[in-house]
Structure 1
Amino acid sequence: MGDTPESSPAKKTGQLSNPLNTGIPFNSDTTRPSVSAISLNTTLFKHDALSKDAHNWTTWSRQFIQCLRMNQGADAYLTGKVPQPNCFAEPRAYSNWWANNGSILGFMGLTISESEQEIIDDATTAEDTWTKLKDRHSQEGPVKQVQLIRDALAIRYSTSEKFASTSSKLTTLNKRIWAMGAPSPELFLCILMINSMSGLPELRSTRKNVAQALAASDGPDIDPDKEPLRRRYDSTDIKRALDTAQGLVDSESRSMVYCTWWRDGRKDD
C-alpha cells in the first residue's frame, strides 16, 4: 500500500516534484521561488561609457562584471548560468528572472554609447547582449594596439604646440593602449614585428596580410591542445610570411642582376 496523492509527505511539505508540462505551479514557488528578485545598486559603477572609439572594453567589462557580482551575483546572467525557469511550473521565479534580466539590460544600456546601443537593440536577454558586445570588441585585438602604439611613439614635443597639450595626447593614447589589455611577451613580439615592417614598400602587402590574419585569429596565446577549435596566430606564422617575402625579394634581385648583365653584355657587342 503506497501513499495516495492526498497523504504524500512530499505534497504536504510543498516539495512535490512537478513535471514541467503539467501547467501546475510548484507549491514552493509562492514562498521560496528558485529565482529571487534583485534590486540593482548601480551607484557602484564608476566608468566612462563603453565605446569602440575609446577602446575601453577591457576596463569597462571588468568593472561592469564586478558591479553585478556585488549585486547578489547578477553577473551570472551575462553567461547564462541562471537558467530561465518554466513559466507554468514556476511563474513567480519566471517573473523574477525576466525582471532581473530587464534590470541588467537597462543598466547596461545606460553605460554604453549610442553606437553600441544600436548593436544590441534586437537582443532580449543579458546573455545575448553581452555576447554581442564581447564579439564586437574582441575583433580589435593586437592590430589596433599596434596602431595606437605607433601613434604614441610618433608624437614629439614641439614649440609649435603647448607642452601640456602634447602630454595630454600621450596620456590619452596610453590609457587607450592599456585599456585593451597588457600584451603578453608573444603578443608584444608580434606587435614589434608588424610595426617593423612599416616603411618598407617590399613588405607592404606582407604587413597587410599578417595584420589581417592576426586580427582574424584568436591571438598568439591560445593553447591548441587545450582549445583545438580556436585559431592561433603567432610570431612563427609571421616569420613564415617574412620568409616568403624574402624569397620574392631575392628572386627580384637575381632578376635585376641578370637583366643588368644581359644589358651590359649587349652594349659590349
Structure 2
Amino acid sequence: MTTANPTPPPKAMFDLSGKLALVTGASRGIGESIARTLAAYGAQVIVSSRRIDGCERVASEIRAAGGKAEAFACHIGEMAQIDAVYAHVEKTHGRLDILVNNAAANPYFGPIADTDLGAFQKTVDVNIRGYFFMSTQGYKLMKRGGGGSIVNTASVNGVIPGPFQGIYSITKAAVISLTQACAKEWAPDGVRVNALLPGITDTKFASALVNNPQMMKLMGGKVPMARVAHPDEMAGAVLYLVSPAASYTTGVCLNVDGGYLTA
C-alpha cells in the first residue's frame, strides 16, 4: 500500500484554482451558494438548473465578482438533457474535476399512501435516476482526467424519514446508498464520492416546511441549535469535500443539520 502525497500547506488546502465544477440546481438556494463558494475559491463553475435565466443570473454575478462561470440549462430528470450537458462539458472543456448533484424534486407533501404515480415518478426520475446518470457520466470524464470529486446532496430525511415526505425521504436514502456504492467502486480511479446531508434550510424548495408554523414547531424542537440553516452554511461543507483538504475522504455522509440526527 502506498501513501499519497503530503497534505498541501494550509493556504492551499481549499484552493480550487484550475478546477472545473458542474453544479446542478444552482440557480437558487443551496446550489447557488455552493456555486458562488466554489468560484470564490478559484473553480470555474458551470451553473446548471432547469431554467437558463436563473443560471445566467448566478453566473453573471459570479463573473462580476471576479470569478469564472458559465450557465447551462439541464433538467436532470430528462436523460436527453443529461447527455446534452455532458456533451457540452466534453466538447468545450474536455474534462470535469468536480460534480455537485444538488438538483432535487419534492412535488408531493402528504400521507405516503396517497402518493400518486406522477409525483412518485417525478421524484424518482430526478432524485435517483438523475443522480445516478449524472454521476456515472461524470465519473467517466473524471477517470480519463486522472480523478475528481463528486458530492451528492442527500438529506437528513434519508436517515430519518420526514413527516409527510415519504417518497422524497425514500429517494434521499437511495442517494446515500448511491454515494457509498460509487465511493467504494471508484476510489481506485481517484474519484471521491461523498454526500451532504442538510437539515432544514431556509430555501424556496423547503418553503412548505419553513412557512408552516406547525411543522416548524414539530421539527424545530428536534434541532439542538433551535433554528433553520441558511444556504451558505451548506456551502462550506461542500467546499471541504471537493477540496485537497479532503483528499483522503470518500464515502462520507456529512450531516449539516444543527444536531438534528444526534438529538
Under TM normalisation by the shorter chain, which class is it?
A: under 0.3
Structure scoring higher RCO (CA < 8 A, sep ≥ 6) equals 2
Q: Which structure carries more helix by proportion?
A: 1
Larger Rg: 1
Question: Normalising to structure 1: TM-score of the pair?
Answer: 0.20
Q: Which structure carries more strand by proportion?
A: 2
